[in-house]
Amino acid sequence: MSDEPVEILWKQVLEGWGEEKRHQAFIGYCHERGLLADAARLYRTMVEDGEAGPYRSTAGQREDAKKRLQAIMLLALAHIEAGPRQDPVNVRKWLNITALSLFFITLGFLVWALTRMQGVTTE
């Protein structure tokens, strides 16, 4: 993790684990900056490492961290689903314009070729 504010916010979360505002600030910051993977990794460390890990989490903290992981997952999915999408009508419109343009270019070339051939005599 290279983002210093993430580290600072995470330390604040650890210092006041029971304070909802700290978790919200941490997850919100990560969400805004596209760092949900970092947030998930830190919460997952709390869940998986338990008392032996670097953060020495209790059973209650591990359960809470699991809930936070689920919330992060839902945020990530919502972000993916809300991403930019092409409007099918807009795509279809540009496809039609492109096809029509190619048709007229081909028609113009055919007319040009036929007029050139009228002047040519075969012997």
Q: Where do the structural domains in the chain lie, given as residue ranges?
A: 4-81, 87-123
Query: Residue 67 corresponds to which amino acid?
Result: K
As given in the structure block, the two tokens for residue 31 are 């969400």
The alpha carbon dihedral of 31, 34, 36, 41 has a sign of negative
pLDDT digits (tens, 9 = 90+) for 39-67: 999 999 888 876 666 666 788 888 899 99
Structure tokens at 77: 């999915």
Per-residue model confidence as pLDDT tens digits over 77-99? 887 776 666 667 777 888 899 99
Q: Taking Cα atoms as reference points, which of 79, 92, 80, 8 lies closest to residue 42?
A: 8
Three-class secondary structure of residue 96 per DSSP: helix
> Counting beta carbons within 10 angstroms of the beta carbon of residue 13, is it exposed (0 to 12), middle (13 to 18) or buried (19 or more)?
buried
Query: Tokens for 92?
Result: 């279809």
